Amino acid sequence: MPIEIKTGDITKERVCAIVNAANSSCMGGGGVDGAIHRAGGPTILKACKEVRRTKYPDGLPTGEAVATTAGDLPAKYVIHTVGPVWGRCGDRCDELLANAYRNSLKEAVKLGCESVAFPAISTGIYGFPAERAAKIAYRTVREFLREHSGLTVVFVFHSESSRRIFESSIAPISNP
């Protein structure tokens, strides 16, 4: 399975698209979102404003994804998606997180990308339990890749400890 797991800064990934764990305003924020806008420069925000003006005047709904330029980043595109806020997603938390991954993957395919890198969506400020998020992320990506050969997915963790949590959480489900 073309899945890579690594520790690092997603803004440095030389892939076709990196995914941003954005908020519905799409106007930047903290965490990985802030890092992407800082490293990518103002053209990303400009493109996000255009997305808000044209496609999503009320903001990007949770679980949806939209692509913009990656500005000065080594990637070509940033795919902005909004994960669920733990504690505010009722009984739809798992489904909404899976949607965020799946819709981002669909955007990557639409863009003709062969590689896409994900941060651990919703597990920072949005408070989604990391172990649970890991299983959902892995299952959703694996299922998508079964029908889209030629796409490589990189999971990028900001710390060794979050990478280890991911790996141990998916261990029981990663063997065929």
Residues assigned a catalytic role? 33
Output 7 or 148, the one with its CB closest to ligand ADP: 7
CB 116 within 8 A of CB 77: no
Is 119 a residue that touches ligand ADP (CB under 6 A)? yes
- How many residues are recorded in the chain? 176
32 touches ligand ADP (CB under 6 A): yes
Single out the residue of 15, 16, 19, 21 in contact with ligand ADP (rule: CB under 6 A): 21
Contact between 17 and ligand ADP per CB under 6 A = no
Residue with tokens 């440095």: 12
Sole window of 46-54, 69-77, 123-131, 134-142 interacting with ligand ADP (rule: CB under 6 A): 123-131
Rounded Cα distance, 76 and 112, in Å: 11
Give how far Cα 120 sits from Cα of 49, 50, 97, 150, Å.
Answer: 24, 26, 10, 22
Least Cα distance to 98 among 106, 88, 110, 108 occurs for 106
Minimum Å distance from CB 140 to ligand ADP? 15
124 touching ligand ADP, by CB under 6 A = yes
Q: Based on CB atoms, which residue is closest to ligand ADP, 116 or 156?
A: 156
Select 70 or 121, whichever has its Cβ closest to ligand ADP: 121
